[in-house]
Amino acid sequence: MKLLKNGLMLVGMLCVISSLIFAVQNTLGSSSNGPNDQESNEGDGASSYRYKVRAIDIPADLNFADESVPVDDPEVMERIDREFLVNTYWQSNALLLMKRANKYFPIIEPILKKNGIPDDFKYLAVAESGLQNLISPAGATGFWQIMKGTGKDFGLEINDNVDERYHLEKSTEVACRYLKSSKEKFGSWTLAAASYNAGPYGIKKYQGVQQVDAYYDLLLGEETGRYVFRILAIKEILSNPEKYGFEIGKEDLYTSVPTFTVEVDTPVANFADFAQDYEINYKILKRHNPWLREAHLNNGSKKKYVIEIPNKGYYKVSK
């Protein structure tokens, strides 16, 4: 009797398990065909969508600063394809770059134009820093990733109180002078861009050893070898977001807060107190003036500094 009871219990459990397996299989069968396929039908007239990872169609007429890219060279095409794939499918980063570009390109573009630097070089700043005030492991700093020695050579003030590598307008001016000098050395904007990463000496050394001049003919280190291709991919994706599957509206983009300037030619004992005089706080003051590196300014020389202050009403400041 006990054996019969146990047998009936076992049969019952197997029936329950079979029913569960059948239900799960039916559920899975009615869902998407794979991890990259999704369909949605919401109400009458709603369009269905399907997400797929596809290869990228590389434009046949790529150029950098009006210098053509040899896309018919299979080795060059593979390197281009890599950067297009990486930068297209790193969607979160691409969206952030688009948002920041709307805020900072209007500052960078007129400075490039004034100095006779092709507009494409704004994408070099994107490749360098993602339009952020970063510090590299080597110490390169700011949007344009300028080394301390280079910054000082080009007239930037860099000390404990002030570091003008964080000053977007002034650092862009330095980048322009550097790039113009490189163009004169190499005769090519593409090589000028490469030398921004590897340094003029590095490019000259590669050219001498390999006995070729063009960037696309040089065998370079990993970083510099990808550098111009990455800039090309960023330029194309940011210029044609919809073509590469990005949907971003004007309301999604970052914008600048209107500001006015204040001249200071005396020491500032405490920037928190200084900020309160203009109905903002220390954080907001530093966001608009990241080149001010301390909570005070010594300024024993009575040098004139121009500090940016946001217009009233754009930030909520607790009192």
The whole-angstrom separation of Cα 128 and Cα 156 is 19
The pLDDT value recorded for residue 14 is 53
242 and 103 both lie in a single domain: yes
Side-chain-side CA neighbours of residue 145 (13 Å): 16
Tally of structural domains, the chain: 2
pLDDT of 41 higher than 50: no
The pLDDT value recorded for residue 17 is 54
Print the domain residue range for 105: 63-252
The pLDDT value recorded for residue 15 is 53
CATH number of the domain enclosing 179: 1.10.530.10
96 and 114 both lie in a single domain: yes
166 and 76 both lie in a single domain: yes
pLDDT of 11 higher than 70: no
136 and 73 both lie in a single domain: yes
Provide the pairing of β-strand 63-64 with 67-68.
antiparallel
Give the pLDDT confidence of 223-246 residue by residue, as tens digits: 999 999 999 999 999 999 999 999
List the one residue out of 95, 154, 139, 104 whose CA is nearest residue 125. Answer: 104
Sign of CA dihedral 109, 110, 111, 115: positive
180 and 244 both lie in a single domain: yes
Please give the average per-residue pLDDT across 201-230, as a whole number: 96
The whole-angstrom separation of Cα 70 and Cα 194 is 16
Residue with tokens 């300028």: 146
The answer to whether residue 317 sits within a structural domain is no
144 and 246 both lie in a single domain: yes
The pLDDT value recorded for residue 269 is 97
245 and 294 both lie in a single domain: no
Give the pLDDT confidence of 112-161 residue by residue, as tens digits: 999 999 999 999 999 999 999 999 999 999 999 999 999 999 999 999 99
Helix/strand/coil (H, E, C) string of 207-252? HHHHCCCCHHHCCCCHHHHHHHHHHHHHHHHHHCCHHHCCCCCHHH
Side-chain-side CA neighbours of residue 104 (13 Å): 22
Residue with tokens 């005030």: 133
95 and 212 both lie in a single domain: yes
Which has more pLDDT, 311 or 44?
Answer: 311
